[in-house]
Amino acid sequence: MTDDVNAPWLIVGLGNPGPEYAGNRHNIGFMVVDLLAERIGGKFKRAQKAQAQVVEGRLGPVGPANRRVVLAKPMSYMNLSGGPVTALRDFYKVPTAHVVAVHDELDIDYATLRLKLGGGDNGHNGLKSMTKAMGPDYHRVRCGIGRPPGRMQVADFVLKDFSSTERKELDWFVDRSADAVECLVTEGLERAQSAYNS
């Protein structure tokens, strides 16, 4: 598939389904796409061709920068995200370069953002599954959650809710992450990196 400027964008929030995971650090991707859905006035519904929930709409200002987007939350659990994402990409005819994964990132301080195209998975199971299914050439919006304190295991840390201190900044962080996604889709990676990489 070619990188067609008029092709839709597939914005995937990575997370785990179910209320018990909703506030977890691992679910920040879901939080960001929930906010984007709110912004475009859409409600998530079950996808026809994939194990995912989707919202279709348009993102960005009225005019040439306005983009057709599909917001998605895979319902397969994090480790199996690749299957639903690939099914959605194929169904909506989205070039891989128009796929954006929004995910938690351990190696970046809390409330810090980094955007990039391609690269490794850095041990992130959602990215690992996506890369195995469709190769590494998709965009990532990496939402920093920092490293676990003391000797806490990574798995325990990412599957815990944000701390009360972190929650004070969480709304702002999710909002800024959603702004970064919007900038990436409407103005391109370089512009989004210079505005949001910190």
Q: Catalogue the active-site residues.
A: 26
Strand bridging mode 139-144 / 99-105: parallel
CA nearest 158: which of 31, 16, 13, 11? 16
First to last CA, the chain: 32
DSSP 34-83: HHHHHHTT---EE-SSSSEEEEEEEESSSSTT-EEEEEEEESS-GGGTHH
DSSP 109-130: -TT-EEEEES---TT-HHHHHH
